[in-house]
A and B are shown apart, each in its own frame.
Chain A
């Protein structure tokens, strides 16, 4: 089956961003007649970002697929609770993070992330049909999977998603300084782990 990299699909986001008006969409979400169309636009714009974010946390495509759908369904169900105090993306990321951490907690006995079976991560990823990286990249993922959840979140958001610290701060409700420290520590841990393995 032909496959697509996550990077290639980001081009669509860039195009859609130019037509996107955060305030207008937030207003349309309040209107029962317009909210369907507004939510469709949100799905078009953010599904890739939310998927990538979740995939970096849970690693498996199948799990990420389930969780991204759960995230948007939960967002839709609770759309009346969105007051527009934060950005729509911030709100979606918070839901996605809650869903992901809940998933990781519930599956701690049979998933790789919290079970203490981190040493098997590289082998598992290398054997995944939805992974086309080499052994070094699998080891890189393994090193990330060993980080505590908060450091892993900070690292993924900064490194893979290139998110500004200010945006991360509003999503994670943590100071910019703490996030910078977290990212720095995460990088050091990853570098040390990979050096030891090599």
Chain B
């Protein structure tokens, strides 16, 4: 088989006049929507962000140490905690919080979270 046989259009169609309507819909929508003023990024804000990230990492590490202080081997053998961590990664709210805290763009983050191993 040859992929060139299928060629570029791929069978998708749109209603006639759709793009004219789309353009006017977008222009109408943006016409009534104000531009968000650019926020001034300061060095201080950037440093605060990194400080917050470091604090989160230390807090998480402290939490793990506190929980497993009595029985450190449980950290490696307790299957349920690994499962809980995996579930947490799937949780939308967790992902949104990560996005809010970490200085990476959404696209990079989603690629990393979804299929980095497959790329």
Interface positions of A (Cβ within 8 A of B): 1-7, 9, 35-36, 39-40, 43-44, 47-48, 51-52, 55-56, 61, 65, 68-69, 72-73, 76-81, 94, 97-98, 101-102, 105-106, 125, 130-134, 136-138, 140-141, 148-151, 159-160, 162, 172-173, 178, 182, 187, 190-191, 194-195, 198
Contacts and interface: CB of A to CB of B under 8 A. Distances in A.
Q: Which 7 A-B pairs have the closest CB atoms?
A: A133-B11, A148-B115, A148-B118, A80-B38, A76-B30, A2-B16, A137-B11
B59 interface: no
Contacts of A56: 10, 12
B29 A47 contact: no
B10 A69 contact: no
Given A6-B14, A9-B19, A149-B114, 16 more contacts: A4-B16, A7-B9, A36-B31, A55-B12, A56-B10, A68-B26, A73-B30, A78-B35, A80-B35, A94-B105, A97-B107, A101-B110, A148-B114, A150-B119, A151-B115, A190-B3
A105 B99 CA distance: 14
25 contacts: A5-B12, A6-B13, A9-B19, A35-B35, A39-B27, A43-B26, A43-B27, A47-B22, A47-B26, A72-B26, A73-B33, A80-B36, A80-B37, A94-B105, A101-B110, A101-B114, A105-B114, A132-B11, A133-B11, A140-B6, A149-B111, A150-B115, A151-B119, A162-B8, A173-B108
Nearest to A79: B35
Contacts of B26: 43, 47, 68-69, 72-73
A40 B27 contact: yes
Contacts of A162: 8
B84 interface: no
A77 B36 contact: yes
Contacts of A178: 119
B95 to A, nearest CB: 8
Contacts of B38: 80-81
Interface of B: 1, 3, 6, 8-19, 22-23, 25-27, 29-31, 33-38, 92, 105-108, 110-111, 114-115, 118-119
B114 A132 contact: no
Given A2-B16, A72-B30, A105-B110, A151 B11 contact: no
A160 B10 contact: yes
A2 B115 CA distance: 39
A97 B111 CA distance: 11
Contact of A1 (B3, B16, B31, B35): B16
Contacts of A141: 10-11
A69 B30 CA distance: 10
A73 B29 contact: yes
